[in-house]
Amino acid sequence: MKDLDLARAAQRVSVPVVAVLLALVIGAILIAVSGRSPGDAMAAIGQAAFTCDPGYCNFGTVLTTATPLIMTTLGAVMVLRAGLFSIGQEGQYGLGAIAAVIVGYQVQLPGGLHPIAALAAAAVAGALVGLVPAVFRVFLGANELIVSIIVNSMVALLLSFLINYPLRDTGGTASYTPQIDETARLPIFDTATKLGANLVIALAFVALVAVYQSRTTWGYEQRMAGEAPVFARYSGMRTRTAVLRAAALGGALAGIGGGIQVIGMNYRVIDGFLDGTGFNGLTAAILGGTTVIGGSLAAILFSAITVGAINGLQILMGIPREIGAVILSLMILLVAIQTPLAGRLELWLSKRRGAREIAARAAAAPPPPEPVDTPPDPDLVRAHAEPEAPTRPREE
pLDDT one-digit tens code per residue, 267-315: 999 999 999 999 999 989 988 889 999 999 999 999 999 999 888 888 8
Model pLDDT, residue 287: 87
Closest by CA to 303, choosing from 73, 22, 14, is 73
Segment 315-329, tens digit of pLDDT? 888 888 888 888 888
Rounded distance, CA 290 to CA 128, Å? 23
Closest by CA to 176, choosing from 105, 88, 122, is 105
Q: What value does the mean pLDDT take over residues 348-369?
A: 77
Confidence of residue 377 (pLDDT cuts 50, 70, 90): low
Alpha helix stretches (DSSP H) within the chain: 2-33, 38-50, 58-81, 89-106, 114-140, 144-164, 197-215, 217-227, 229-234, 239-261, 277-287, 292-308, 322-364, 378-384
Give CA angle at 254 (251, 255), nearest 5°. Answer: 80
> Would you say 238 and 225 are in contact if contact means Cβ atoms under 8 Å apart?
no
Model pLDDT, residue 324: 85
Model pLDDT, residue 7: 57
Strand-pairing partners, residue 195, are 190
Segment 85-139, tens digit of pLDDT? 999 999 999 999 999 999 999 999 998 999 999 999 999 999 999 999 999 999 9
- CB crowding 158-195: b at 16 or more within 10 Å, else e: ebbebbeeebbbeeeeebbbbbbbebbbbebeeeebbb
Closest by CA to 247, choosing from 392, 88, 12, is 88
Mean pLDDT of the chain: 88
Rounded distance, CA 310 to CA 330, Å? 18
Rounded distance, CA 251 to CA 228, Å? 23
> Would you say 106 and 268 are in contact if contact means Cβ atoms under 8 Å apart?
no
Segment 64-84, tens digit of pLDDT? 999 999 999 999 999 999 999
Q: Is residue 8 classed as helix, strand or coil in its secondary structure?
A: helix
295 phi and psi, to 5 degrees? -65, -40
Q: Could you give all domains of the chain from N- to C-terminal order, each with its CATH number?
A: 54-321 (1.10.3470)
> Would you say 110 and 302 are in contact if contact means Cβ atoms under 8 Å apart?
no
Q: What's the N-to-C CA distance of the chain in angstroms?
A: 90
> Would you say 125 and 96 are in contact if contact means Cβ atoms under 8 Å apart?
yes
> Would you say 347 and 354 are in contact if contact means Cβ atoms under 8 Å apart?
no
Cβ partners under 8 Å of residue 319, min gap 6: 31, 34, 36, 41, 313
